[in-house]
A and B are shown apart, each in its own frame.
Chain A
């Protein structure tokens, strides 16, 4: 039998502004070297379903970590209360997210098992942040799972701190895997087409997959949006993508 032990635990890491922030990590106990994966949680928070995904990446053979992006607003709070507190304050500023993602990448590279390569993957609002990390953070692969407002403009008077990133496409420095549901409204199929055109026109390395019969959050096994066919194919694409670049 192959040795398949995994360690999962909550740790404190240094994030934006050198703040001590909470993170959840899962790592294979087998010796390295191996790549690292930063999992970016969705807007509803740093919840148990996201932590399951972190453990899944460890089972796949990566050192994985998910930063609690709401550490500062609600240290120690229940994930749903933390998400509500963060939303009431306008969400997570991009600059702070980038600082936290850089801290997570630094933490992964500091592990004795690290091969120096790090990827990011984010869901929903985290999909947009995964794209942003491909621009701002030293990562070797980024996966955007149905992130809204990478292109497109939020409505007037929008209270959350979320700006489109279309003008940052030329700066993208990591290969991008995009996984999208055709029934999604944010991002809509037209938004996905627009992003793909920008990537193509700028000569970026990318791979997009669009799933019929799937909307937003089709990876979310605890929600009615779950679509096993799309999710299973998506996981295969993620495994192949990280296998290639990490």
Chain B
């Protein structure tokens, strides 16, 4: 399915590294849809973008559902741990 299912967040004080080096990130879209490259019908996709720098300013991942769940848990753990630093 083209699920259209999309979440979008503003990203602040964060950076990503694309083909032309590091750049400040502005937004991230998270969606479950067809991947371009990963070998599944649907994947959890994340695009970190800086629209002010053009469409090529993009860090993209396509994660299998299982890997996305593991990433979610790892983020949760890391963010909780960071609060105690």
Contacts and interface: CB of A to CB of B under 8 A. Distances in A.
A214 to B, nearest CB: 12
A139 B4 CA distance: 26
Contact of A225 (B8, B41, B47, B58): B41
Q: Nearest 5 A-B pairs (CB), nearest first?
A: A124-B2, A74-B55, A186-B1, A77-B55, A85-B55
A160 B4 contact: yes
A228 interface: no
A129 B14 CA distance: 37
Contact of A88 (B29, B33, B34): B29
B2 A216 contact: yes
A148 interface: yes
A215 B31 CA distance: 19
Interface of B: 1-8, 27, 29, 31, 33-34, 36, 39-41, 47, 49, 51, 54-56, 58, 60
A172 interface: no
A216 B42 CA distance: 10
Interface residues of A, number: 37
Contacts, number: 90
A91 interface: yes
Contacts of A78: 55-56
B54 A148 contact: no
Given A217-B34, A223-B34, A148 B39 contact: no
B65 to A, nearest CB: 14
A160 B55 CA distance: 18
B47 A186 contact: no
B55 A159 contact: no
Nearest to B18: A81
Contact of A84 (B2, B3, B34, B47): B47
